[in-house]
């Protein structure tokens, strides 16, 4: 049988097609629950929710807002604004909603 294309082109095309079909069926299963998956846009993660909750408790001020967060495998650094002036507080939040190292970032000794 005479091919319109060189044999190596046909072989490479078939190999690439087989690889694509093989990858199309791949999914990652981590055994996590729906709560472990990424939240909807605008919805705080469990780590962020934990920090908002615990900064509220620590400051005894329910007026808190999420200013920023920086994800890391070791824990998410969450910056929370407290009160009408949005005093900055730092917290480390974890995937399970627990927190650590809550501290004020304001310079309370400044004049």
Enumerate the domain spans of the chain.
44-104
Q: Which residue is it, tokens 């910056």? A: 79
> What's residue 111's pLDDT?
54
Contact partners, residue 48, CB within 8 Å, separation at least 6: 66, 69, 76, 78, 93
Give the pLDDT confidence score for residue 51 in this predicted structure: 98
Q: Report residue 8 CA to chain centroid gap.
A: 44
Whether the predicted pLDDT of 69 surpasses 60: yes
Neighbour order of strands in the sheet with 64-70: 64-70, 76-82, 87-93, 99-104
Say what the alpha-carbon torsion angle 29, 32, 38, 40 is, to the nearest 10 degrees: 110
pLDDT, position 70: 96
The percentage of residues in the chain with a pLDDT greater than 90, rounded to a whole number, is: 57
Q: Which residue has the tokens 């917290």?
A: 91
Task: Kindly give the pairing relationship between strand 99-104 and strand 64-70.
Answer: unpaired
Query: Mean pLDDT over residues 61-87, rounded?
Result: 97
List residues bridging with 99 in a β-sheet.
93
Residue 92 — pLDDT band, cuts 50, 70, 90?
very high
pLDDT at 40 over 70: no
Write the pLDDT tens digit of every residue in 12-39.
444 555 554 554 444 444 444 444 455 5
Pick one of 1.10.1740, 3.10.450, 1.10.357, 1.10.3470 as the CATH number of 44-104: 3.10.450
């Amino acid at each position: 049988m005479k091919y319109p294309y060189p044999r190596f082109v046909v072989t490479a095309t078939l190999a690439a097609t087989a690889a694509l079909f093989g990858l199309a069926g791949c999914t990652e299963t981590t055994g996590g629950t729906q709560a472990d998956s990424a939240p909807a846009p605008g919805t705080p993660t469990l780590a962020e929710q934990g920090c908002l909750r615990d900064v509220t408790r620590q400051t005894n001020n329910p007026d808190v807002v999420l200013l920023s967060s920086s994800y890391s495998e070791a824990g998410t650094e969450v910056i929370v604004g407290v009160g009408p002036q949005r005093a900055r507080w730092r917290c480390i939040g974890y995937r399970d909603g627990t927190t650590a190292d809550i501290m004020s970032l304001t310079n309370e000794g400044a004049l």
